[in-house]
Structure 1
């Protein structure tokens, strides 16, 4: 039996370049990367040095605050380079891959027959633990915590987002095994949110099923939590991506760390957008080779609202299931704000004529269409923010670092992705996601 969640607020942004439901295998990279900055709040301590040989599942680094929290190699090969930045901060560990991978064998197990501590030990030892994230704060979960509940959102609403029914195709057994393992980690419930038609996900055992509908950000797990059982001070909620659930299940079924995932290559600058099976840490250039149209492009690991701009030698993000390529916004239009020159533009308001064609797909670029300006009350933020929170007030008290008011206004319930639409529609051109990220970091430091 399922419960329905209907989201009325929000905004769907329809962009050209949605991936066709075809899955191919991407070219194997010669060099793979593990990037510690992707794991926000983790201070890495290296377990390897340049020249070391590694297998799939060998520890590359671990968290300095907890040496049980390991981060492992996605391929077998030789550690090629440790890339460092300012103050010797570790930015990336690059591994020259062998032609064929060899795996560390962690031993196949039946998760239903294990106790919670045994499941947790397996996830920590194998390197699967970073797949489990925590709310509040949107960081890797602390294995010493006991979560109130675990949430999985298999409903994607972001522009050009990968469809979970495609990325999970053929992984029914692994997904169920992952659910069986995660159920051992909480005394609460596992909440699985799906769309109207999500194939085998409707038949998964051991979960509370929620049918979600509505505009973006209906697919954000934070929005779903707020409508099911909001986070209060002191609560710990764990969040797992659907493909990571299947990877966890694969660990128990095979005894091997599974670094393979399906990503969507999307965007108006892509010739024949579709899905590709890749290995974590695959270089962007090996996915894009021969697939880009002419013209300047912005390559984004993730979707256009929340992803990270990347270069060809960088890799697919650990938590991303798409690579988006859209036009670079390096041009300006004379009198571009006038309606009669804006028939190709998308607007939430009626400034342009996009409201007359609700099903039209747009070829939007990265232009901000304006500069940063006064942060004033317009009511526009509330129209796209479907949580019981005042977004403008929360942003303002976060900017002045008023911890007490941040708590009262709901900082524990949000993550940066929940403010992505505000970045898109705000006439103030503020970086709302960055403000919230800095606010959450302040709460970690001051409150813990």
Structure 2
């Protein structure tokens, strides 16, 4: 070994030792602060704002005036992943032979909804497919025209998918549109329920399709998404400015309260003119790391939800469906979809209708690979290994689907991610590059703009660790998620409500699950709590 090589290894060892000792010291300082009754977040060996100190060129966006409501969020965490969608090859329209609507995409729906069309029956886009037996007024409509192909059933005859064999040229259901200037709220609600557009309106509490019998105190529309590899809504609204404004006009008729518009105040790029120039809304700018784009965060900081109150919310796609319905008289569910992930050969944007079959998107992805190993007798054996996972939605809240599966109702992102079926000995102990870190365990904490290759490795199983303040550090809301989870597990409904469960949806606590040392299924636990509370009435 030469002197130069030994010197290099010595420097690396010293740096690793410093990082390990600093991390241990940081934990001890926070523990001591907590024992003294102080806030642990105010103490540490390393600066709490280290990532922001290392960012360059940041400042207040010049397109935000001093009079605008600006919310600067300090908590959160951005996960920068490889495989961001590119506009290099433009945005092509992708049409599949089959489309599907999945009842399981709608939280709170009965597992066996009433399907009102028979196999072989002809459909137009906007025709009713099924309704929930608990709430029969809300109709769920076909996203495209064609022929009713089949009902894909699951356990206990539950309906997994209602599949449509699509026409090459779409035909749309004809509507008797009400006059938006003169229609009453009751008649407008009745029209939206029958049209199939109502399921795009969701509500807090419970994060379910909105209950039409209730008057919301406010309606929120979020115009940006901060989840990893999320698409830009600026592309979605491009060329549809009039439809977006028309959708806002429709929503304004549905509430006696305010219509709030959440805008991207991070300064990376100016929001689309359709958002900035929108009328009849109260505009709010949000700056910060993920989950700054979540509607739950917007509600919490603008008009918090109290017991007995209801707030409705939509994304840009939902607003455009409403606007197009009233502007053109058609039920149009076309959207911009981002094909992302480090295993996607050509990450890009496409245009597609809701419920599109994803097989056309992933023809070049190698989901299986062959491995050669030996059996007990030492003979060579070839086995197939699942190499890539396909996700409908973002990597934090999306659902795993098969390559011939269908896009989720509310999803505008498809991600491919490498299967993490490997083990690392003492991976938690050795500081190494290539891993995002929220608690400054790895060197990546000192390079917040680094981009990482993701896989599905959880780096451990569920374990009995309780790290105080871990969830709170990534949730920019005045909520104590750790105590809330305990209340849910104890079925303590009064504490659940008092600790803020009514404002939350799964997406709001997805980062809590990501950073959880205990590997606790936080999103699943929250949904259990919401469902229990809803059943109690």
Q: Same fold (TM over 0.5)?
A: yes
Q: Does 1:305 align with 2:396?
A: yes
How far apart in 2 are the matches of 1:162 and 1:113?
37
Take 2:473 and 2:311, find their aligned partners in 1: how far apart are those partners? 27
1:116·1:184 contact (CA, 8 Å) conserved in 2? Answer: yes
Please list the CA deviations of residues 367-389 of structure 1 after superposition, one character each: whole Å capped at 9, or x if unmatched. Answer: 11011011414321111111111
Do the aligned residues in 2 keep the contact of 1:269 with 1:293 (CA within 8 Å)?
no
Matches within 5 A, 1:383-402: 383-402=473-492
2:532 to 416, 429, 442: 442
Deviation of the 1:272 alpha carbon = 2.4
**1:312 positional shift:** 1.1
TM-superposition CA deviations, 1:367-423 (whole Å, max 9, x none)? 110110114143211111111111100011111211111111111111111110011
2:420 and 2:245 map into 1 onto residues whose CA distance is 43
The match for 2:416 is 325
Aligned to 1:117: 186
* 2:68 and 2:284 in contact (8 A); partners too: yes
Q: Which residue of 2 aligns with 1:12?
A: 78
Aligned equivalents of 2:308, 2:434: Cα separation in 1: 47
Match of 2:376 in 1: none
- 1:333 Cα shift? 2.1
Q: Check the 8 A contact 1:137/1:415 in 2, yes or no.
A: yes
Residue equivalent to 2:272: 199
Q: Which runs of 5+ in 2 are unaligned?
A: 1-66, 370-386
- Answering whether residue 136 of structure 2 is matched by residue 62 of structure 1, we say no
Moved over 3 A (4+): 107-110, 291-295
CA contact (8 A) 1:271 1:292 kept: no
Match of 2:217 among 148, 151, 158: 148
Q: Which residue of 1 aligns with 2:511?
A: 421
Distance 2:99 2:285 in 1: 38
Q: Which runs of 5+ in 1 are unaligned?
A: none
CA contact (8 A) 1:304 1:324 kept: yes
Superposed, 1:325-344 pairs within 5 Å as 325-340=416-431, 342-344=432-434
1:101 aligns with 2:192: no
Cα distance in 2 for partners of 1:94, 1:57 equals: 15
Give the TM-score, by structure 1 length. Answer: 0.96
The answer for the alignment partner of 1:260 in structure 2 is 334
Q: Residue 303 of structure 1 contacts residue 323 of structure 1 at CA under 8 Å; is this kept in 2?
A: yes
Matched-pair contact (CA < 8 Å) for 2:367–2:389: no
- Between the two proteins, the alignment pairs up a number of residues equal to 446
What do the CA deviations read for 1:10-56 (whole angstroms, capped 9, x no partner)?
11111111112364234311111111111111232110121211111
Larger radius of gyration: 2
1:291 CA drift (Å): 5.7
**What is the distance in 2 between the residues matched to 1:444 and 1:375?**
30
Matched, 1:182 2:251: yes
- Aligned Cα RMSD in Å? 1.6
| 1:245 paired to 2:336 | no
Tell me, in whole angstroms, the C-alpha distance in 2 between the residues paired with 1:167 and 1:323. 16
Please tell me whether the aligned partners of residues 116 and 130 of structure 2 are also in contact (alpha carbons under 8 angstroms).
Answer: yes
Structure 2 CA distance for partners of 1:339 and 1:350, relative to 1, 3 Å? farther
Secondary structure, aligned partner of 1:316: coil
- Judged with a 3 Å threshold, the aligned counterparts in structure 2 of structure 1 residues 89 and 392 are, in CA distance, closer, same or farther, namely same
d(CA) in 1 for partners of 2:416 and 2:132?
A: 33
Alignment match, 1:227:
301
Task: Quote the Cα distance in structure 2 between the aligned partners of 1:245 and 1:291.
Answer: 33
Aligned to 2:375: none
SS at match of 2:213: coil
Q: Does 1:38 align with 2:105?
A: yes
Which of 259-268 and 18-27 deviates more?
A: 18-27
Separation in 2, partners of 1:281, 1:105: 21
C-alpha distance in 2, partners of 1:131/1:265? 22
Report the secondary structure of 2:438's partner residue.
Answer: coil
1:76 matched to 2:150? The reply is no
1:252-304 Cα offsets, whole Å, 9 max, x none, are 01111112111111111112212110011111111222366996211111110
Indicate conservation of the 8 Å contact 2:286/2:292, yes or no.
yes
Give the match's secondary structure for 1:339.
Answer: coil
Distance in structure 2 (CA, Å) of the matches to 1:213 and 1:119 = 35
Name the CA distance, whole Å, in 2 between partners of 1:360 and 1:388: 29
Alpha-carbon displacement from aligned partner over 1:121-178 (angstroms, at most 9, x marks no partner): 2211210000000100000001111000000111211111111111221110010000
1-side partners of 2:443 and 2:180: how far apart?
55
Note closer, same or farther for the CA distance 1:64–1:242 as it changes in structure 2 (3 Å cut). Answer: same
SS at match of 1:104: coil
Distance in 2 separating the partners of 1:104 and 1:230: 39
Residue from 158, 181, 190 that aligns with 1:89: 158
Counterpart of 1:146 in 2: which secondary structure? Answer: coil
Structure 1, 79-88 or 137-146: larger mean CA deviation: 79-88
> C-alpha offsets along residues 83-126 of structure 1, whole Å, 9 cap, x if unaligned?
11222111111111122111111145553443322321221121
Distance in 2 (CA, whole Å) between partners of 1:21 and 1:188 is 39
Deviation readout 1:334-363 (Å, 9 max, x if unpaired): 3322334x2111111222111121111000
1:81: Cα distance to partner? 0.9
